[in-house]
Amino acid sequence: MIACYAGSFDPPTLGHEDIIARSAKLFEKVVVLISANPAKKGFLEEEERLRLLEEICAPFDNVIVKICPGLTVETAREYGAGVLVRSMRNAADYEGEVSLAWVNGLLEDGMDTLFLPGDPAYSYISSTAVRDLLRFGQSIAALVPQPVFQALQPELAAESEAAK
């Protein structure tokens, strides 16, 4: 079965990477969809998120990354997906995620949503927290995959490599 995991990934976090890795084990193919979130002002350009996610997903032969130009369910069907993967970091995510799943089910009959609980080690990580730390010049090394750290804090990444 083909699954789609959609998000704004602005920027991608360790939590996103975890859900991608776990989805890759569950499905024969996973399409990671970079979707625009009209409620959020963009931080990274879509093309930069695409590049970073492709690097993060490189170890998984069954994962591809695409930009979603419209509704997630429509793009998911274009790729032959039968299920959407969503993650919930904590109880606060539940209501919004379930509502989204119901709407997606109404828009695309037969489109199921699989909820993967986020790894507790990453439950405090959000793209918003990453952006906030960056604004204040703090390290994001503990929150993001290495390619994101290198792209967004190259001077700190170089220092950590030199210290090894």
From the first residue on, what is the mean pLDDT of each consecutive set of 10 residues in the chain (164 residues)?
A: 95 96 97 84 90 97 96 94 91 84 84 92 92 92 95 69 52
Kindly name the residue from 22, 49, 86, 89 that is annotated as catalytic: 89
Which pLDDT belongs to residue 160?
52
Marked catalytic residue, from 22, 29, 40, 126: 40
Q: Is 40 a catalytic residue?
A: yes
pTM (two decimals): 0.89
Please report, as a single letter, which amino acid is at residue 15: G
Which listed residue (16, 22, 29, 86) is catalytic? 16
pLDDT recorded at residue 111:
87
Considering only the top CATH level, what class is 2-124?
Answer: alpha beta
Residue 69 neighbours by CB under 8 Å, 6+ apart: 75
Q: What is the largest CA-CA distance in the chain?
A: 54
Q: Is 29 annotated in the active site? A: no
CB atoms within 10 A of CB 42: 11
Active-site annotation holds for 51 = no
C-alpha–C-alpha distance, residues 34 and 127, integer Å = 14
Structure tokens given for 17: 């990477």
Check: CB of residue 12 under 8 Å from CB of residue 145.
yes
Q: Is 164 a catalytic residue?
A: no
